[in-house]
Amino acid sequence: MTSRDGYNWTPSEGLQTGVPTIGKILPESNVSSNEKPYDVIVIGAGYCGLTAARNASLEGLQVLLLEGRDRIGGRSWSSNIQGYPFEMGGTWVHWGQSNTWREIMRYELHDQVEKSFNFEKGVKHFELNTPNGVTTMSHEQEDELLASALNKFTNIDGVYGRNTIPLPHDTFRTLGSADLDNISAKDRLNDIASILSPQERAVLEASILLASGGTLETTSFHEFMHWWAMCGYTYQGWLDMLITWKFKRGQSSFAIRFFQEALESKRLKYAFNSPVSHVRDNGKQVEVTTRDARKFQAAKVISAMPLNVLDRVTFDPPLSSGKQSALKIKHVNQTVKVHAELSNKDLRSWTGITYPHNELNYAIGDGTTPAGNTHIVCFGGQQNHIDPEVDISRTKRAVQSLFSAENYSNSHPAPAVERLVFHNWSKDEFAGGAWFFSPPGLLSNHLNDMRATHGNVVFANSDWALGWRSFIDGAIEEGERAALIVRRDLLGAKFDAPRL
Ligand code: FAD
């Protein structure tokens, strides 16, 4: 089935809006006209909302799940094009992400993950393309360069942040840690400029922007250090946990398990294509209104919508001033993620950085398509930002510019682009950007505001998780938290008898 989300371009068919995915749900609703008030309404069917809806329905609560899109998964979903999964958003998972891995084991999907990298065949090099020239190096040299640059950037206390952020789930535990949120990545780069080689600086800046999707000025140094701490304070951990393991059949093959299990409880009602516009809490009951004026009532609401679009919903009574400030500030991530299928069949082991002059800065070989072509995944962000669908020839040029002319010849031509697949997260009315990444000050001032419950409305989302904030794992962490709060409030004394 085809979702209206996403784009697919090929030379023969041109640009098509909407791509096939197993995440699209039909029928789009199982709600009947004479529903009684629910125990809980969950708004948003990303991993957070799916986890909350599943847990609450398994606990015996009557649940309504409302979703603005025609599919599950929110910012993590995969398209299946000719049987091949392209990850449109969230992709990589790791056993160090304990909430995610627990769910992978629950659904017995541990044999369904595979590596993105494959350094075994074809072109086995890393191309670094900066205004100073092109350097082609082995992957061992690439790792050495990146590790050296990242170690210099993160070594704020002689032990790579271990003393400053000793417990990343309690990120502001030390005073020194809170101070890091007052400065940007750019400030930190300026501090260590004299000890960075030009190549280190280039790969470091590209790596920072790959993490934040913002600019160096809008990237909180603290949040970068929080990621680093979650990855075990090492470059190898960074690589392993952030960008190595993905699902063979795509993220939607994972998300659908949560939805199916909730449905099997027979206590889940759902409605897709149902954007919520208004949430009114009279203290005893909450009324949720959709944009097309349908109204639903429940004792509790779990809002699982992301930070950057929460201000499109009105809340009555109004949200606290702290929450409203966070909604105004927003996160800064405007990542552009573009999959390219390339005619060259030998690029499976290729990686490249073209920075800072290109619209796409970072790319890796990510798979081999059914046609035997190489699939690479490319990333850009706020800097030189593009809307890839607006000018396909520019997007193609940005992909091709990742391959420096001097590595190719008539007998060994530069790769031609056979297909582009992407989701424009910046223009997405239900996301307003990619994964959460904070500007300086947002977390130290407003993390608790973002997490706070408002009357009978529980706010949950990966964007304000404590651990793997901005990851799938953080979404599951938050879905668990929200379902637990609701369960405790509604089941009261019975709460002590867990049934999950
Ligand atoms: P969301 O997925 O955003 O879910 C919120 C849901 O609310 C959405 O379905 C949305 O449609 C719905 N909604 C919003 N407004 C309304 C409304 N008014 N009415 C009804 N419904 C509404 N994470 C990783 O772990 N690994 C990765 O490799 C990774 N890579 C990423 C790459 C990209 C390009 C992106 C965009 C994200 C990536 N992430 C990754 C992050 C991860 O995808 C997210 O952190 C996670 O999916 C967020 O889940 P969530 O449920 O908290 O929020």
Angstrom distance (rounded) from CA 468 to CA 461: 11
Q: In sequence order, what are the beta bridge partners of 420?
A: 9, 340
pTM: 0.97
> Could you give the residue range(s) of every CATH 3.90.660.10 domain in the chain?
117-243+336-380+388-423
Residue 403 marked in a binding site: no
Task: Read off the amino acid at residue 386.
Answer: I
Collapse the DSSP code of 275 into the 3-class scheme (helix H, G, I; strand E, B; otherwise coil) and give the result: coil
For residue 429, report the distance from its CA to the centre of ligand 1, in Å. Answer: 12
Q: How is residue 184 annotated by DSSP?
A: B
- Answer yes or no: is the C-beta of 69 below 6 A from any ligand 1 atom: yes
Residue 340, class by beta-carbon neighbours within 10 Å (0-12 exposed, 13-18 middle, 19+ buried)? buried
CA-closest residue to ligand 1 atom 33 = 89
**ipTM of this complex prediction, to 2 decimal places:** 1.00
Q: Binding residue per annotation — 276?
A: yes
Cβ of 335 less than 6 Å from ligand 1 = yes
* CB neighbourhood size of 162 (10 A): 15
Give the gyration radius of the chain's Cα atoms: 23
Residue 470 near ligand 1, beta carbon < 6 Å: yes
Sign for the pseudo-dihedral over CA of 340, 343, 348, 350? negative
Contact 402, 354 (CB under 8 A): yes
> Among 3.10.20.740, 3.20.20.370, 3.90.660.10, 3.30.1490.440, what is the CATH number of 117-243+336-380+388-423?
3.90.660.10
Could you say which DSSP state residue 24 is in? Answer: B
- Residue 479 Cβ inside 6 Å of ligand 1? The answer reads no
C-alpha pair distances (Å), 328 with each of 68, 308, 321: 22, 8, 10
* Residue position matching structure tokens 């223009």: 427
DSSP type of residue 71? B
Which ranges in the chain are annotated with CATH 3.50.50.60? Answer: 7-93+250-329+431-491
Domain 7-93+250-329+431-491: homologous superfamily in CATH: FAD/NAD(P)-binding domain (3.50.50.60)
Output the tens digit of pLDDT for each of the chain's 500 residues. 999 999 999 999 999 999 999 999 999 999 998 889 999 999 999 999 999 999 999 999 999 999 999 999 999 999 999 999 999 999 999 999 999 999 999 999 999 999 998 888 888 899 999 999 999 999 999 999 999 999 999 999 999 999 999 999 999 999 899 999 999 999 999 999 999 999 999 999 999 999 999 999 999 999 999 999 999 999 999 999 999 999 999 999 999 999 999 999 999 999 999 999 999 999 999 999 999 999 999 999 999 999 999 999 999 999 999 999 999 999 999 999 999 999 988 898 999 999 999 999 999 999 999 999 999 999 999 999 999 999 999 999 999 999 987 777 777 777 899 999 999 999 999 999 999 999 999 999 999 999 999 999 999 999 999 999 999 999 999 999 999 999 999 988 565 555 55
CA 209 to centroid of ligand 1, rounded, Å: 19
Q: How far apart are CA 388 and CA 421, in angstroms?
A: 10
Q: Which protein residue's CA is at the shortest distance from atom 7 of ligand 1? A: 44
3-state helix, strand, coil in the chain (%, to 5): 35, 25, 40
CA–centroid distance, residue 189 to ligand 1 (Å): 30
